[in-house]
Amino acid sequence: MSEANPETLVIEFRAAEQLLNARDPRGALKLLDTVVAAHPENTAARLLRARAFFLGAQLRPAEMEFQTVLEREPDNAFAHFALGRTLQRANRADEARRHFRLAAALDPRPDFVEAAAFDPPRSA
């Protein structure tokens, strides 16, 4: 493992993004562990690491990372949505629905609104 300095950490973060895009969550996690260890306050690295955990079907670590992101950024619609997906995948539908609805309220993107499954408007 290389010595962690700001330049190598940025390179490792960008490489982890590429690995995640290539659907290699284990490779991404190896790089992100170094980045998060050096900068535990870095929300972007934690969010990327949460996504890697989710893609690797490591639901509990994904949930914990998404929760950490939301503690720091409670208005992060994507983190709410992704946590909802994580909880849904873990068969925790009621908890997931809450985060889907928060995501949709914060950002009414069609995929967030669809996941929120709001009741249809009632006819008069």
The pLDDT tens digits for 52-92 are 999 999 999 999 999 999 999 999 999 999 999 999 999 99
Confidence of residue 121 (pLDDT cuts 50, 70, 90): low
Both structure tokens of 35: 């980045």
pLDDT at 119 (0 to 100)? 66
CB atoms within 10 A of CB 67: 14
Q: pTM for this structure?
A: 0.87
Residue type, 90: A
